[in-house]
Amino acid sequence: MADWAIIFDVDGVLLELTAQEEELFFIPFASRCEGSKLSRDWNSYRIRNDEDIVSEIAERHGLAQSEELSIKQEYLGLLRYQLQSKAISSQAIAGATELLITCSKFATLGIATANFREAARLRLENAKLWHHVSAHAFGADGGGHKHEILGRTLANFKAPNSRVIYIGDNINDVIAGQKNGVHFIGFSQNQNRLEQLSKAGAKLLSSNHMMTSKIIQTIVSGN
Protein backbone atom coordinates (compact mmCIF):
# COMPACT_ATOMS: atom_id res chain seq x y z
CA MET A 1 0.00 0.00 0.00
CA ALA A 2 1.39 3.39 -1.00
CA ASP A 3 2.22 5.73 1.89
CA TRP A 4 0.63 8.74 0.18
CA ALA A 5 -2.75 9.40 -1.39
CA ILE A 6 -3.32 11.98 -4.11
CA ILE A 7 -6.87 13.01 -4.96
CA PHE A 8 -7.74 14.97 -8.08
CA ASP A 9 -10.68 17.12 -9.04
CA VAL A 10 -11.67 16.26 -12.62
CA ASP A 11 -12.74 19.33 -14.60
CA GLY A 12 -9.95 21.86 -14.91
CA VAL A 13 -7.38 19.50 -13.39
CA LEU A 14 -7.51 16.27 -15.39
CA LEU A 15 -10.01 17.18 -18.12
CA GLU A 16 -11.08 20.24 -20.03
CA LEU A 17 -14.84 20.77 -19.79
CA THR A 18 -15.81 21.39 -23.41
CA ALA A 19 -18.86 23.46 -24.37
CA GLN A 20 -20.37 20.39 -26.04
CA GLU A 21 -20.03 18.28 -22.89
CA GLU A 22 -21.47 21.08 -20.79
CA GLU A 23 -24.54 21.46 -22.99
CA LEU A 24 -25.34 17.74 -22.77
CA PHE A 25 -26.11 18.21 -19.08
CA PHE A 26 -28.95 20.60 -19.89
CA ILE A 27 -30.55 18.73 -22.82
CA PRO A 28 -32.79 16.50 -20.63
CA PHE A 29 -34.41 19.63 -19.17
CA ALA A 30 -35.53 20.90 -22.59
CA SER A 31 -38.68 18.75 -22.66
CA ARG A 32 -39.52 19.68 -19.09
CA CYS A 33 -38.79 23.42 -18.86
CA GLU A 34 -37.05 26.19 -20.80
CA GLY A 35 -33.65 24.57 -20.84
CA SER A 36 -32.03 27.35 -22.86
CA LYS A 37 -32.68 29.79 -20.00
CA LEU A 38 -31.00 27.66 -17.33
CA SER A 39 -27.79 29.14 -15.95
CA ARG A 40 -24.56 27.66 -17.31
CA ASP A 41 -22.68 29.27 -14.42
CA TRP A 42 -22.13 26.33 -12.06
CA ASN A 43 -21.38 28.73 -9.22
CA SER A 44 -24.86 30.26 -9.48
CA TYR A 45 -26.43 27.13 -7.96
CA ARG A 46 -26.81 26.61 -4.21
CA ILE A 47 -24.59 23.54 -4.16
CA ARG A 48 -22.10 23.10 -6.98
CA ASN A 49 -22.52 19.45 -7.93
CA ASP A 50 -24.52 17.60 -10.58
CA GLU A 51 -26.96 15.89 -8.23
CA ASP A 52 -27.87 19.00 -6.26
CA ILE A 53 -28.09 21.12 -9.43
CA VAL A 54 -30.60 18.67 -10.93
CA SER A 55 -32.61 18.83 -7.69
CA GLU A 56 -32.50 22.62 -7.57
CA ILE A 57 -33.65 23.02 -11.18
CA ALA A 58 -36.42 20.45 -10.66
CA GLU A 59 -37.57 22.30 -7.54
CA ARG A 60 -37.55 25.72 -9.24
CA HIS A 61 -39.63 24.45 -12.15
CA GLY A 62 -42.07 22.38 -10.15
CA LEU A 63 -40.93 19.04 -11.50
CA ALA A 64 -41.84 15.87 -9.62
CA GLN A 65 -39.04 14.38 -7.53
CA SER A 66 -39.31 11.21 -9.59
CA GLU A 67 -38.21 13.24 -12.63
CA GLU A 68 -34.75 13.79 -11.12
CA LEU A 69 -33.65 10.20 -11.67
CA SER A 70 -35.03 10.26 -15.22
CA ILE A 71 -33.09 13.44 -15.96
CA LYS A 72 -29.88 11.91 -14.61
CA GLN A 73 -30.33 8.70 -16.60
CA GLU A 74 -31.16 10.61 -19.78
CA TYR A 75 -28.07 12.79 -19.38
CA LEU A 76 -25.78 9.81 -18.78
CA GLY A 77 -27.30 8.00 -21.75
CA LEU A 78 -26.68 11.00 -23.99
CA LEU A 79 -23.11 11.36 -22.75
CA ARG A 80 -22.41 7.65 -23.27
CA TYR A 81 -23.84 7.69 -26.80
CA GLN A 82 -22.03 10.88 -27.83
CA LEU A 83 -18.68 9.56 -26.60
CA GLN A 84 -19.13 6.09 -28.11
CA SER A 85 -20.22 7.52 -31.46
CA LYS A 86 -17.27 9.96 -31.35
CA ALA A 87 -19.61 12.91 -31.79
CA ILE A 88 -17.69 14.40 -28.88
CA SER A 89 -14.47 13.50 -27.11
CA SER A 90 -13.09 14.30 -23.68
CA GLN A 91 -9.88 16.31 -23.68
CA ALA A 92 -7.15 15.67 -21.13
CA ILE A 93 -5.42 18.68 -19.61
CA ALA A 94 -1.87 18.96 -20.95
CA GLY A 95 0.44 16.82 -18.83
CA ALA A 96 -2.36 15.03 -16.94
CA THR A 97 -1.46 11.59 -18.28
CA GLU A 98 2.20 11.95 -17.36
CA LEU A 99 1.31 13.32 -13.92
CA LEU A 100 -0.94 10.36 -13.14
CA ILE A 101 1.70 7.87 -14.30
CA THR A 102 4.36 9.54 -12.15
CA CYS A 103 2.17 9.81 -9.05
CA SER A 104 0.97 6.21 -9.30
CA LYS A 105 4.54 5.05 -8.60
CA PHE A 106 4.49 6.29 -5.00
CA ALA A 107 0.87 7.12 -4.12
CA THR A 108 -2.65 5.74 -4.22
CA LEU A 109 -4.75 7.86 -6.57
CA GLY A 110 -8.40 8.88 -6.56
CA ILE A 111 -10.86 11.57 -7.62
CA ALA A 112 -13.34 13.80 -5.81
CA THR A 113 -15.53 15.45 -8.41
CA ALA A 114 -18.77 17.40 -8.59
CA ASN A 115 -19.71 15.33 -11.66
CA PHE A 116 -21.90 12.27 -11.34
CA ARG A 117 -19.42 9.43 -10.82
CA GLU A 118 -20.61 7.67 -13.98
CA ALA A 119 -20.19 10.85 -16.01
CA ALA A 120 -16.65 11.19 -14.68
CA ARG A 121 -15.96 7.55 -15.52
CA LEU A 122 -17.23 7.88 -19.08
CA ARG A 123 -15.25 11.03 -19.75
CA LEU A 124 -12.02 9.90 -18.06
CA GLU A 125 -12.25 6.54 -19.80
CA ASN A 126 -12.63 8.32 -23.13
CA ALA A 127 -9.45 10.27 -22.37
CA LYS A 128 -7.70 7.04 -21.24
CA LEU A 129 -7.22 8.29 -17.67
CA TRP A 130 -9.84 6.32 -15.74
CA HIS A 131 -7.71 3.28 -14.87
CA HIS A 132 -5.36 5.48 -12.85
CA VAL A 133 -8.07 6.67 -10.43
CA SER A 134 -10.87 4.09 -10.68
CA ALA A 135 -10.18 2.35 -7.36
CA HIS A 136 -11.01 5.47 -5.34
CA ALA A 137 -13.47 7.50 -7.40
CA PHE A 138 -16.20 9.58 -5.77
CA GLY A 139 -18.60 12.05 -7.34
CA ALA A 140 -21.78 14.04 -6.80
CA ASP A 141 -23.88 10.94 -6.09
CA GLY A 142 -25.21 11.38 -2.58
CA GLY A 143 -25.11 15.17 -2.85
CA GLY A 144 -23.32 17.65 -0.67
CA HIS A 145 -20.70 20.37 -0.93
CA LYS A 146 -17.24 19.59 -2.26
CA HIS A 147 -15.79 19.14 1.22
CA GLU A 148 -18.35 16.38 1.80
CA ILE A 149 -17.45 14.64 -1.47
CA LEU A 150 -13.77 14.89 -0.54
CA GLY A 151 -14.62 13.51 2.90
CA ARG A 152 -16.26 10.47 1.33
CA THR A 153 -13.16 9.94 -0.79
CA LEU A 154 -10.83 10.24 2.18
CA ALA A 155 -12.83 7.65 4.12
CA ASN A 156 -11.88 5.19 1.38
CA PHE A 157 -8.15 5.62 2.02
CA LYS A 158 -5.99 4.27 4.83
CA ALA A 159 -3.48 7.13 4.61
CA PRO A 160 -3.86 9.79 7.33
CA ASN A 161 -5.02 13.18 6.08
CA SER A 162 -1.54 14.57 6.73
CA ARG A 163 -0.31 12.32 3.91
CA VAL A 164 -3.04 13.24 1.44
CA ILE A 165 -2.70 15.79 -1.36
CA TYR A 166 -5.82 17.21 -3.03
CA ILE A 167 -5.57 19.10 -6.32
CA GLY A 168 -8.45 21.35 -7.40
CA ASP A 169 -9.22 24.42 -9.48
CA ASN A 170 -12.15 26.05 -7.71
CA ILE A 171 -12.65 28.05 -4.52
CA ASN A 172 -14.85 25.25 -3.16
CA ASP A 173 -11.87 22.94 -3.64
CA VAL A 174 -9.74 25.23 -1.48
CA ILE A 175 -12.41 25.11 1.22
CA ALA A 176 -12.68 21.33 0.87
CA GLY A 177 -8.95 20.94 1.42
CA GLN A 178 -9.01 23.23 4.46
CA LYS A 179 -12.01 21.54 6.07
CA ASN A 180 -10.48 18.09 5.64
CA GLY A 181 -6.98 19.04 6.75
CA VAL A 182 -5.12 17.81 3.68
CA HIS A 183 -2.35 19.32 1.58
CA PHE A 184 -3.94 21.37 -1.20
CA ILE A 185 -2.59 22.43 -4.58
CA GLY A 186 -4.58 25.01 -6.53
CA PHE A 187 -4.27 24.31 -10.24
CA SER A 188 -5.31 26.42 -13.22
CA GLN A 189 -3.91 27.40 -16.58
CA ASN A 190 -5.66 30.75 -16.11
CA GLN A 191 -3.78 33.39 -14.14
CA ASN A 192 -6.95 35.11 -12.91
CA ARG A 193 -8.23 31.82 -11.52
CA LEU A 194 -4.93 31.24 -9.73
CA GLU A 195 -5.24 34.66 -8.11
CA GLN A 196 -8.76 33.78 -6.95
CA LEU A 197 -7.50 30.53 -5.46
CA SER A 198 -4.69 32.38 -3.69
CA LYS A 199 -7.11 34.91 -2.21
CA ALA A 200 -9.29 32.02 -1.01
CA GLY A 201 -6.33 30.64 0.95
CA ALA A 202 -4.48 28.31 -1.43
CA LYS A 203 -0.78 28.55 -0.60
CA LEU A 204 0.48 26.13 -3.26
CA LEU A 205 -0.36 27.06 -6.84
CA SER A 206 0.42 25.48 -10.19
CA SER A 207 -0.23 26.60 -13.77
CA ASN A 208 1.01 23.42 -15.48
CA HIS A 209 1.43 19.80 -14.50
CA MET A 210 5.23 19.81 -14.63
CA MET A 211 4.97 22.36 -11.82
CA THR A 212 2.27 20.26 -10.11
CA SER A 213 4.63 17.27 -10.11
CA LYS A 214 7.45 19.33 -8.59
CA ILE A 215 5.16 20.66 -5.84
CA ILE A 216 3.98 17.13 -5.05
CA GLN A 217 7.57 15.89 -4.79
CA THR A 218 8.40 18.78 -2.44
CA ILE A 219 5.45 17.92 -0.19
CA VAL A 220 6.26 14.22 -0.15
CA SER A 221 9.99 14.65 0.46
CA GLY A 222 9.33 17.08 3.32
CA ASN A 223 7.18 14.63 5.35
Average pLDDT over residues 192-205: 97
Give this prediction's pTM. 0.94
Domain range for 30: 19-84
Residue pair 212/187 in contact by the 8 Å Cβ criterion: yes
β-pair partners for 108: 5
Q: Are residues 104 and 65 in the same domain?
A: no
Of 35, 57, 84, the one marking the end of a domain is: 84
Q: Distance between CA 115 and CA 51 in Å, rounded?
A: 8
- 87: number of Cβ within 10 Å: 11
Q: Distance between CA 73 and CA 148 in Å, rounded?
A: 23
Give all strands (DSSP E) within 17-143, no chain letters.
91-92, 107-112, 137-138
Q: Are residues 39 and 131 in the same domain?
A: no
- CATH code for the domain in which residue 212 is found: 3.40.50.1000
Q: Are residues 70 and 147 in the same domain?
A: no
Q: Are residues 149 and 198 in the same domain?
A: yes
Domain count, the chain: 2
Q: Are residues 134 and 51 in the same domain?
A: no
Q: Which residues of 161-179 are buried (b: 16+ CB within 10 A; e: fewer)?
A: eebbbbbbbbbbbbbbbee
Q: Are residues 173 and 210 in the same domain?
A: yes
Amino acid residing at 170: N
The predicted-structure confidence for 156-185, as pLDDT tens digits, reads as follows 888 899 999 999 999 999 999 999 999 999
The predicted-structure confidence for 39-95, as pLDDT tens digits, reads as follows 999 889 999 999 999 999 999 999 998 899 999 999 999 999 999 999 999 999 999
Q: Which helix (H) or strand (E) holds 75?
A: helix 66-84
Q: Are residues 61 and 167 in the same domain?
A: no
Of 66, 84, 102, the one marking the end of a domain is: 84
In this structure, of 27-31, 99-103, 109-113, the range with the lowest mean pLDDT score is 27-31
Q: Distance between CA 108 and CA 90 in Å, rounded?
A: 24
State the pLDDT at residue 35. 78
Q: Are residues 74 and 132 in the same domain?
A: no
Of 84, 106, 128, the one marking the end of a domain is: 84
